[in-house]
Amino acid sequence: MLRLLVIHGPNLQMLGARQPTVYGRTTLTQINQLLQAEAQRLNVSLTILQSNHEGDIVEAIGRARGRYAGILINPAAYTHTSVAIRDAIEGAALPTVEVHLSNIAAREPFRHTSLIAPVAVGQVSGFGVASYRLGLQALAAVVARRPAARRVDKSRAGR
């Protein structure tokens, strides 16, 4: 079974209560439950991390190579500011899909630029909670197409 890393960035632990007109009323726990159900349907295994700390996210990405076949990330505010997360994703050389609940291109001008998008295989934004499901589906499809030698499965993880 392929293993994927899911990373939720800063302030996402407040989903459901923080700006529900922008982010909806679904909590992060509910999103994680949706992701786990979809992962089971796709026959992939997820490790899920939420952090408000850029360094923790960078370190998780750095440890991902050799342990996971790909990364699904909502970098939240770090989307627009973190060269460190961008460089970690590029260095890990794992297929990465960036997701956002809101359409970042339709929001304030400072949110229009993603530093992550150029090193990701794709970006899904603006579909609310469905952005996560669609992003996971896309990532699983990308990973499944990779040559077997470059994929990481549970039996080889950590070796």
Residue of 8, 68, 78, 100 marked catalytic: 100
24 has pLDDT over 90: no
Does the annotation count 8 as an active-site position?
no
The rounded percent of the chain whose pLDDT value lies above 70 is 87
CB neighbour class for 108 (10 Å; exposed up to 12, middle 13-18, buried from 19): exposed
pTM: 0.88
Cα 73 to Cα 51: distance, rounded to the nearest angstrom: 11
Residue of 23, 68, 78, 132 marked catalytic: 23
pLDDT, mean of residues 134-155: 78
Parallel, antiparallel or unpaired: strands 44-50 and 122-125? unpaired
Looking at residue 146, its pLDDT comes to: 86
13 has pLDDT over 60: yes
In terms of residues, how long is the chain? 159
pLDDT, mean of residues 136-147: 94
- The mean pLDDT of the chain is 89
Kindly state the DSSP code that residue 101 receives in the 8-state scheme: S
Does the annotation count 100 as an active-site position?
yes
Q: Do 70 and 5 contact (CB within 8 A), yes or no?
A: yes
Q: Do 141 and 6 contact (CB within 8 A), yes or no?
A: no
What residue ranges define each of the domains in the chain, with the CATH number in brackets? 2-150 (3.40.50.9100)
